Structures are given as C-alpha cells and as structure tokens.
Amino acid sequence: MRLSRRSFLKSVPATIAAATLPTPAHSSGVFTELATTYQPLFGSGVGRDRAIEYTSDTLPSWHVVYAEDKRDSLETWIDNRDSRSVLSEHEPTRTATIVASPADVGAGTLDRLRGQGLGGMSWIEAIDLNVQMGLVEPITRLDDRDDTDELLSVDRFERTLLRIQDAGVPSPQGVAFAEEAPETTPAQVRRLLGFDYVSVDDSTVTIAVIDSGCNTVDGDVFGNTDRILPASKNFVSGGTVESEGLGVLGDPNGHGSFVASQIAANPSDNTFQGIASNCDLLICRALGDDGSGSTRDIIDAVTYAADHDADVICMSLGSPIYSAALDRALAYAVGAGSIPVVAVGNDRQATRWVASPASSEWAIGVGALTAEDPDDAQSAYFSNIGPQPGTTDLSNGETADARPDVGAPGMEMRALVGRTTGSTREQVLSGTSMAAPIVAGTVGLLIASDSAYRGDLNAIRDRLESHSIALPNVAQNETGAGMINAEALLTGSETDGQADSMTDEAALRNEAYAALSNNQGGLLTQLF
C-alpha cells in the first residue's frame, strides 16, 4: 500500500518541511528554468513542460488555492492592482487561475516564511504556475528507439543501466525492450485479461476521456455516436457537442481517439472491440493539436467531468512537475464520485519516477507491460516507476512513495482509430497511454457489476491490489499489484500477491529502485 502523503504533510511542522525538502514547484525562479529547459531524453517525455501560459501583457498565470471563506480576501488582493486578474475559478475546490507578476505572487518557500506577497498570506494554501502539460507521448514504433545510434540508443542505454552489477543494479531480466514485445489487438487483450469469461452490462457507466479529443467518424468505431454524450466539451475552444456537434471534438493529434477506442470501441469487426464497448463517453478535449495543454484546461476538464457524473476519468497525460491545484481537482472528483485513472509516464530513462497526476493519492496510476501470460510478462522499459521520492518533482513530499497501482499491456498495441477526414485506420502505439484506458475500462466494468464500488476509490484500489495477477519477472515498483485481470477482479477469485511472487532478479531490481529513491531524498519524507 502507498503511504498517505496528505497524512504525512499534516503531521510535519511547516518549518521542518520547508527546511528539509526542496523549493516547491511554485518557486518562480526554479520552476521557470525547469519549465523552459526540460527536454525529455530520446523523445520519451511524460509531457511538454516547456512553456507557461502567459497573458498578452507577458505576465504569467498561476493556480491559487485559498482557504475556506477567504474568497473575498483573494478578490480584494486582485482588485488592489490593475495588472492582476482572474482567468477562471472553481469555487467548490477553492481554486482560481490568476494573472499576476512573480513579485506580487511571491510564491516561494522563503516568501511564505517571511509573509511576503500573495504566497505569504496565511489564507493561501498553495500556488502553482499554470504550465503546459502534455499527453503521455506514445511511441509510434519501438524499433525507432532501438540501436539507431550506438551512443544514444535507448535500448543500449537502459540495458547498460540495468547491468551495472558493481553499482548494485540487478539484471534487466523482466524489463522488455523492442524485440520482446508482441503486437497485440484488443481481442487478444480481452482474452489475455479474462474479459471473455465475464459478462457485464456496461451501458450504465460513463467514462470521461481527458485528452486531445476524439474523431468519432460516424459509427465506424463506436457503433453508435449517441454514446458520445452531448455534454462532451472542447476546453481549448469552449464548444460542446450539444451546441456545435461532434466536430467540436476533432482530434488532429489522434492520441485521444486511440485512447477512446481502446476503452469503448464497438465496430462491426470485434477484433477491435474495446473494454467497455457499451459505456457512454464524455470526451473532454483539454489538449491542443500538438498534444499539449494548460494545466488550467486540464483542471477545468477534471472538475467538469466530475460535475457531469463521470464514473471513471481516464487521463493519459502528465508532467514531471507536481501541481497542487490539479491534485485538489482530483480530490474534488473523487468526492463527487469519479475515479481518476492516470498513465504513469514513458520516461524511465530520464525523469524516471511516476509522473503527476498519476502520483496523486486521488488517482490510480497505471504502468505498461507486455501483452503476455503472467509468467512471461515483463515491464515496458519506458514505463515510469516508484517509489517517487517526493522531492524531484518539487512536491515538498506530497507525492512521496507513489508507485504504479497496477499494470496493463502497453507495448505494440493495435487499435481502430478515426481520422479527421472521416475514415478509419489501424494504428499501433506503445506507451503507458495505451495501458491506462485498459484499466479505466476495467474499473468501469467493476462499477457496472457492483454499484457498491461506484465512487469509492479506496475500495476499488483495494480490490485491484487483492485481485490482480502477480508477475514473477516484474518488480513491484514497476507494476504495483501486478497485471489487471477482469475475471479475477469481477468474480473475486484468489490471486497471489505481487510482493511475494517476484523472482530474485525482480526483487533485487525492486530494492535498487527503492535505494535510488532514498538517495534522491525519499528517505527524508519518511523520517520527518
């Protein structure tokens, strides 16, 4: 079980936390450097955190979380200077996106301790920069990232890291590279994960997809476009399906279309049938054509999905930098009865640790595996791992000990995807983006099969932990509870625990990840 970061923070005096942990993400100088220079190695980044959303006056925008009954105090502060303004607000979570200068905001730890700027106000709980997040960028062809350059090959790089025995890093056995990943159709996934052995009416479930949109192409992918709810919205342009038609969800990027197909496709060819092929879809386009989008739009999409009764929220997007405002939005969604399911990231060779918001205690984080029987399954070499130190993401320990909750196939996945032209194509992608929708659909089936699980994140997480399939060759810090399995999950069949099932090589790798996390500051979050 992961530690409760929220409980940890409540138990730590603020002055001790500030003294022992790095400057948080809302320290403008540190964050600006990270946001503008972060370049994911080998094109495998968890998100395009290279830009901050600025206004026409070149002032940055910020997410502000204020204390209860202090909305008037924020309004007074905003009105005190013409250069300050509110871009958007969600009062139930007490979160506002504002425009102000870094000097006015004074958001760093020292500013808070000195009582300076907005960040020094006693009624301000958190401040983040409104940065650009991005989709968990899929890998189009694994071969493209293999042996193209002897010095920079990801395959060679990762294998070298895992084979340095003298440094205490164990064998790579159990970590899958390009040549070890079989191409897999949705039908093969359904058979492998036990979906063919259960029958659930999933038409009672609504799954929200927060991504780059969805090309619905009449009924060629989803069977019936009435399943795309009228409330589906484009947060980039502001229109809804009800007001502008299905075209408002257009997805030139294609990423959201792939994710939605994995969840809910119901075409005439059942080879490409999704996990929850009769569910309703609430499409929330929060990412632009290039796959990036402001945290503000993502937060708005999360709260919107919750307010429109989404049972599950699928998010194949993220960032190496923690956002307190997005965490607050996820908490609101869970409180409203929605279950967020989030990809952990494709950046094990660089940022390495579970990305945000998968690292939130209010989300189920999903890692990527090969689509093989449990005894042979391996962790995808790009799939981010735990335990998150809670320091390298500038979260001040809030994400400490986060790891994937569960794993699902995410290498060489084939799906039927709609194009903006109105035609369809078969596409093959790899990434934790491809694993998350499988888990999102499965959680939807669990809710449909037993209404007691509707809106209960802890119960669903416990069910996943106790009824996923153990993978001997995979480290627990790579896959959490193991591989999701619909038959075991829905019928309650007994399964072995992942922690007790690892081979010696997997156990050593698990220990190596924990040691690395501690060396990067994770131990501090446990000691104080």
Residue 166: count of CB within 10 angstroms of its CB: 5
DSSP 92-131: GGTEEEEE--HHHH--SHHHHHHT-TGGG-TTEEEEEE-B
Which residue reads 């994911």 in tokens? 40
Q: pLDDT tens for residues 73-116?
A: 999 999 999 889 998 899 999 999 998 888 888 755 554 455 56
DSSP three-state, residue 36: helix
Catalytic residue among 433, 449, 468, 517: 433
pTM equals 0.84
Domain ranges within the chain, ordered by starting residue: 5-132, 142-521
Q: Is 309 a catalytic residue?
A: no
DSSP three-state, residue 509: helix
Catalytic residue among 128, 202, 211, 251: 211
Segment 200-228 mean pLDDT: 95
Please give the pLDDT value at position 137.
Answer: 60
Residue 440 pLDDT level (bands cut at 50, 70, 90): very high
Q: How far apart, in whole angstroms, are the C-alpha atoms of residue 144 and residue 153?
A: 10
The third-level CATH classification (topology) of the domain covering 5-132 is Alpha-Beta Plaits (3.30.70)
Q: How far apart, in whole angstroms, are the C-alpha atoms of residue 497 and residue 109?
A: 41
Catalytic residue among 26, 63, 90, 255: 255
| Percent over 90 (pLDDT), the chain | 61
Is pLDDT at 29 greater than 60 in this prediction?
Answer: no
124-129 β-sheet, strand order: 85-90, 95-99, 61-66, 124-129
Is pLDDT at 4 greater than 50 in this prediction?
Answer: no
Segment 174-200 mean pLDDT: 90
Range in 175-179, 215-219, 351-355, 465-469 the model is least confident about: 175-179
- 142-521 has which CATH code? 3.40.50.200
State phi, psi for 168 to the nearest 5 degrees: 85, 10
User: Residue 81's closest CA among 36, 130, 117, 28?
Assistant: 117
Pairing of strands 280-285, 206-211: parallel
Is pLDDT at 28 greater than 50 in this prediction?
Answer: no
Q: pLDDT tens for residues 289-344?
A: 988 888 999 999 999 999 999 999 999 998 888 999 999 999 999 999 999 999 99
Q: Is 255 a catalytic residue?
A: yes
Residues in the chain: 528
Instruction: Quote the mean pLDDT of the chain.
Output: 82
